Amino acid sequence: MRSAVYTLSMMQFNVAHLLKGTMGTSQLVTLDAAFAPLDETGTSQVHGQIQLMHVTGGIWVSGLLDSNAVCTCSRCLKGFSLTLQLQLDEIYLPAMDIITGATSPLPEDTDPSFIIDDHHTLDLTEAVRQSAIVALPMKPLCRPDCAGLCPECGSDRNQVRCTCQSSTRDPRWESITRLLS
């Protein structure tokens, strides 16, 4: 009989020793992991420290990670790299009891990405993806003083001084304009 080889990625951790330990048993892990880029952020590497702790019902993962995301400026539409700080604070539930080997009852609403599998492997990929999405600014800017694109001719106002004049005024503001002049 041949046994299957089970390899872990840099975002996966075997937590059998923590699950066998007493409540509060913890491990500090320095993470320097490269992985396939996440579609939403372009994030492909994280650095930092996380703590894995045995708590009632599972393993609590907490820590701060640094990562870079590839963003598009919301004003000038140029791509740029942005440093993100990712906050992890998740509880992973085991799929099976480590002592008896019996299947553990899981709540119906448990996200499968936050379950410790039958090999006692905890995978951080989904937690990192979600944290990266939350850490992204709603309107990323390549720099705080980005002038953006001209709404008339489309030129990049960071590169070229635009001479276009916006002639469209919102008629709803005319009454206020007359009061101020």
Instruction: Map out the domains of the chain as residue ranges.
Output: 12-146, 147-181
At residue 7 the predicted structure's pLDDT band, cuts being 50, 70 and 90, is very low
Report pLDDT for 79. Answer: 93
| Rounded distance between C-alpha atoms, residue 13 and residue 53, angstroms | 12
Which of 113, 110, 128 has its CA nearest to residue 10?
Answer: 128
- Which one-letter amino acid corresponds to residue 154? G
Which of 90, 109, 107 has its CA nearest to residue 15?
Answer: 90
Which residues contact residue 38 at a Cβ distance below 8 angstroms, ignoring those fewer than 6 apart?
44, 128, 129, 132
| Rounded distance between C-alpha atoms, residue 171 and residue 177, angstroms | 10
Question: Of the ranges 32-46, 126-140, 163-177, which is most confident?
Answer: 126-140
For 88-113, how does the pLDDT look when each residue is reduced to its tens digit (9 = 90+)?
Answer: 999 999 987 777 777 777 777 777 78
| Rounded distance between C-alpha atoms, residue 169 and residue 41, angstroms | 37
Per cent of the chain over pLDDT 90 is: 48
- Mean pLDDT score of the chain: 85
| Rounded distance between C-alpha atoms, residue 20 and residue 146, angstroms | 54
Give me the mean pLDDT over the 160-168 stretch. 79
Which of 89, 98, 82, 119 has its CA nearest to residue 3?
Answer: 119
For 50-94, how does the pLDDT look when each residue is reduced to its tens digit (9 = 90+)?
Answer: 999 999 989 999 999 999 888 999 999 999 999 999 999 999 999
pLDDT greater than 70 at residue 18: yes
| Rounded distance between C-alpha atoms, residue 100 and residue 18, angstroms | 15
Output DSSP code: residue 171. Answer: G
At residue 167 the predicted structure's pLDDT band, cuts being 50, 70 and 90, is low
pLDDT greater than 70 at residue 2: no
